[in-house]
């Protein structure tokens, strides 16, 4: 897999240095008669986005001649470790992990390595572990795109920030990206963050409660909302609807969930950040097959996860609003025109 540098970014934590990469080149299916088995340990299948990841990853890996075993813990840290141990005991050749808890899943990496199995961190970075590879979108840029879109509409005013799960490393990267953009305006006094909270387990109900509290604490005088993903944006918009403010206050999300894209079409959500997960799934599948086959990856860029300098590949996200829905999400077939508009 050829990794081509396309720029340099400084991540949210001093331990993380990231470089934006173009997608890797394609590789043929392995020539060996032995079928490579890949274990896919997923945080959850309770959100729409992750069904797409599961299906696209399986399809990509199977097209390369591999088999995929999937287990999802639905936000339960202990269960995710247990499921990963099961996959290890079943003799998978490589483990791909979408961590629920960036710290707790370090135990999975340790157990896998004891069994001689390499681990790829999928979309979310596993912290403090010697993972073999990390592939994701540029999550700090996701937050920057959110903030740029909202600040262009509301250069001055009272902002609410509704974060994701504090245990998710990506949630911290999203937030850092947002504040990379907003901080100069905050320092000038143009923008005031009047409410800032994490949403446990990315639960939309928690986001709804946060938005209710923000409205009550500020007598409903809120000018803009940035939510860490589309599910939390949906929770915030539910509270805004109850206050008669849906569509009046700009709201940003990310993930391009169908409900969010429909809200963008309806005018109650301002934008989302689209991450073409078909590219992510294909890149990880190709990388998994190569690593499982023991191929040398050559010189690559690294990110510090608190313990090790981990080889990584970052993919660029795309800002989407009502103006470019057609040329991005719909053109790619991520959602159909009928799903978005004809309901």
* SS3 assignment, position 287: helix
**Cβ(173)–Cβ(12) below 8 Å:** yes
DSSP classification of residue 123:
S
Q: What percent of the chain has pLDDT over 70?
A: 90
Per residue in 167-199, pLDDT tens?
999 999 999 999 999 999 999 999 999 999 999
Per residue in 12-55, pLDDT tens?
333 333 333 333 434 444 444 589 999 999 999 988 889 999 99
**Which pLDDT value is given to residue 145?**
98
Biggest distance spanned by C-alpha atoms of the chain: 67
Going from the C-alpha of 289 to that of each of 129, 251, 298, the distances in angstroms are 21, 40, 15
Q: What is the mean pLDDT of the chain?
A: 90
Range with lowest mean pLDDT among 24-28, 72-76, 232-236:
24-28
Closest alpha carbon to 48 in 272, 238, 260: 260
Q: What does pTM read for this prediction?
A: 0.81
Q: Which residues contact 19 (CB under 8 A, 6 or more apart)?
A: 5, 6, 7, 8, 9, 301, 314
**Cβ(129)–Cβ(110) below 8 Å:** yes
φ, ψ for residue 296, nearest 5 deg? -75, 125
Per residue in 199-214, pLDDT tens?
999 999 999 999 999 9
């Amino acid at each position: 897999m050829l990794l081509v540098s396309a720029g340099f970014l400084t991540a949210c934590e001093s331990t993380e240095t990231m470089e934006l990469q173009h997608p890797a080149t394609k590789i043929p299916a392995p020539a060996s008669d032995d079928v490579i088995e890949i274990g896919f340990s997923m945080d959850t299948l309770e959100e729409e986005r992750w069904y797409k990841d599961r299906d696209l990853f399986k399809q990509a890996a199977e097209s390369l001649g591999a088999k995929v075993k999937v287990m999802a813990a639905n936000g339960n840290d202990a269960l995710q470790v247990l499921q990963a141990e099961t996959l290890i005991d079943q003799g998978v050749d490589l483990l791909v992990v979408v961590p629920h808890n960036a710290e707790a899943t370090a135990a999975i990496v340790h157990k896998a390595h004891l069994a001689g199995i390499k681990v790829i961190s999928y979309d979310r970075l596993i912290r403090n572990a010697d993972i073999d590879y990390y592939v994701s979108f540029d999550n700090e840029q996701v937050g920057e795109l959110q903030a740029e879109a909202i600040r262009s509409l509301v250069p001055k005013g009272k902002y609410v920030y509704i974060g994701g799960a504090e245990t998710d490393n990506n949630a911290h990267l999203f937030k850092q990206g947002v504040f990379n953009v907003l901080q100069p305006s905050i320092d000038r006094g143009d923008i005031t963050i009047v409410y800032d909270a994490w949403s446990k387990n990315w639960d939309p109900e928690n986001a709804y409660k946060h938005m209710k509290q923000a409205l009550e604490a500020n007598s409903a005088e809120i000018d803009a909302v940035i939510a860490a993903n589309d599910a939390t944006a949906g929770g915030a918009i539910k509270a805004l609807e109850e206050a008669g403010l849906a569509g009046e206050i700009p709201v940003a999300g990310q993930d391009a969930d169908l409900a969010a894209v429909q809200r963008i079409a309806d005018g109650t959500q301002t934008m989302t950040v689209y991450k073409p997960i078909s590219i992510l799934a294909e890149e990880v599948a190709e990388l998994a097959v190569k690593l499982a086959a023991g191929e040398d990856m050559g010189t690559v860029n690294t990110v510090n996860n608190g313990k090790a300098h981990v080889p990584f590949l970052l993919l660029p996200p795309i800002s989407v609003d009502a103006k470019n829905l057609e040329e991005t999400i719909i053109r790619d077939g991520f959602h159909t025109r009928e799903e978005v508009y004809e309901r």
